Amino acid sequence: MSEKQELNMYALSTDPIFIGTGGYTIGRVDNTIVRDTITKIPKIPGSSIAGTWRYYMALELQGWYKKNFENIKSILGGNEIATEDIRELVNRLADRELDAGRRENFSERMTKFKKYSKAISSAINTNCYENNNDNETKNDWQLYWGNLISSIKCAGQDDKANENYEDSLVGSIRELSDTGHCGHCIICKTFGFSKKNRSQQGMAYFSDLNILLFPVYTRLGVKWVTSPYILESAGIKAKFQQMNKSEDILSESSFSRLRNLLKDDTAVIVKNCENENDKYYINLGWLNLEAVNQDILLALPNLENKEETWKNISENLIIVPDDLISNIINANLEVRTSVSINPLTGTAKEGALFTSEAIPRGTVFYGNIRLLESQSEVAPTINEVVMALKDSKKYYECLGVGGMTTRGFGRAKLFFS
């Protein structure tokens, strides 16, 4: 039976996020964003996450090899080879060690690359151990043998899909612009590849990132709204603090009681309070709802020990009825107006005004990544894939996801729990 693992993933947007539907629409805004077809709540599609993460993992891997290249060159005894490309280095070393009749043999070259990878791993990790450098010991996933022939072209669309699976391993050394997906590295194994004579589904399956907590301006300051359906879908457990101690936090009665409180379009403000059931009104954008205080414990995840990140959010939660949450979210999206500039006059171009909507910064999302062990004999372990995902998610904090990332959109912080 194949090994499998599921990672719960959460994200906090630090910029507005725009995942467009393509084309213009007639309505409140010209450029609309992707929404769930059932709830009409905006989301970040899993395809957007997978596509950007593939690129970010390739960036992290190539950056690691660039940083450690001279050391690797010395370990493999290739100092006399004039190159700064890891692919060219290991291929020239293999050509030097294999006779002419064995150089084009797939198994022979793979054996050599595995030997090089093992030598690099042993030398680097031994050096880290001797120097007591804990920050440099997490090199397991970077040293998977197939990474030695990877390139930045392992991200994005495959420019060489009509080549055979073996060609990237036994073919002649080519310029970077003349390569495609190698099919052997941890990037191709994690996200999948398709060559002329072999295709393989990726080991990682990405869900959509759905909204868990949405920021809304109120007369009491910024509050984060959610609903019972969203909390249940995200696996968040709720418990009224005044329940009997014998009542389990997993009990369905918590959400039943919560839904009863939310009848008649009442909002529940989650807070530590002495005067429960004191009713007043609170505005959520343009919508004015009757509100009631309730001392409710929500079992929010411990996101990689980032308690401070969530402290302000957890102290400003409001739960609204399921039938209102979509309207509240869609009415409080960020709308940005843009205009094209005439390059000759430097002024606004006539007829080129357009508007775009986006999910505002401060929104919390939830989703998951399902990992399934590959049936291939030569594939990274699930643990190596998890390490690669964790090491490369930092790029979302500077490069972001979605469109208009050069104009103040797209950045987010990702967490695993």
Lookup result for tokens 């401060």? 362
Residue 244, pLDDT > 80, answer no
Spatial CB neighbours of 94, under 8 Å, sequence gap ≥ 6: 103, 109, 112, 113
Check residue 136 and give its pLDDT.
46
Predicted confidence at residue 24, as pLDDT, reads 64
pLDDT at 2: 65
- Closest alpha carbon to 43 in 413, 364, 354: 364
| Sequence-separated (6 or more) residues with CB below 8 Å from residue 307 | none
Over residues 279-287, mean pLDDT: 86
User: Which band of pLDDT confidence, cut at 50, 70 and 90, is reported for residue 276?
Assistant: low
Rounded distance between C-alpha atoms, residue 284 and residue 331, angstroms: 9
Q: Which two tokens stand for residue 369?
A: 């990544």
Is the pLDDT score of 174 beyond 60?
A: yes
Q: How many CB atoms lie within 10 A of CB 159?
A: 13
Give the pair of three-digit tokens for residue 392: 């490369």
Question: 37-46, 304-313, 354-363: which has the minimum mean pLDDT?
Answer: 304-313
pLDDT of 410 strictly over 90: yes
Among 38-42, 254-258, 408-412, whose mean pLDDT is lowest? Answer: 254-258
Q: Is 23 left (phi over 0), alpha (psi -120 to 50) or beta?
A: left
pLDDT of residue 245: 47
Q: Are strands 199-201 and 287-294 parallel, antiparallel or unpaired?
A: unpaired
- Give bridge partners of residue 33 from the DSSP assignment: 20
The closest of 119, 133, 197, 128 to 163, measured between CA atoms, is 197
* Cα gap 158→73, rounded to integer Å: 29
Residue 157 exposed, middle or buried by CB count within 10 Å (0-12, 13-18, 19+): exposed
Contact 387, 220 (CB under 8 A): no
Residues in the chain: 417
Surface-to-core class of residue 325, CB atoms within 10 Å of its CB (0-12 exposed, 13-18 middle, 19+ buried): buried
pLDDT score of 29 more than 70? yes
pLDDT at residue 142 tops 80: yes
pTM of the model: 0.89
The domain spans of the chain are 46-207
- Assign 3-class secondary structure to 270-309: ECCCCCCCCEEEEEECCEEEEEEEECEEECCCCCCCCHHH
Report which of residues 379 and 244 the model is more confident about: 379
Strand 266-270 vs strand 192-194: parallel, antiparallel, or unpaired? Answer: unpaired
Q: Is 337 exposed, middle or buried (0-12, 13-18, 19+ CB in 10 A)?
A: exposed
Q: Is 145 helix (H, G, I), strand (E, B) or coil?
A: helix
Residue 206 has what pLDDT? 97
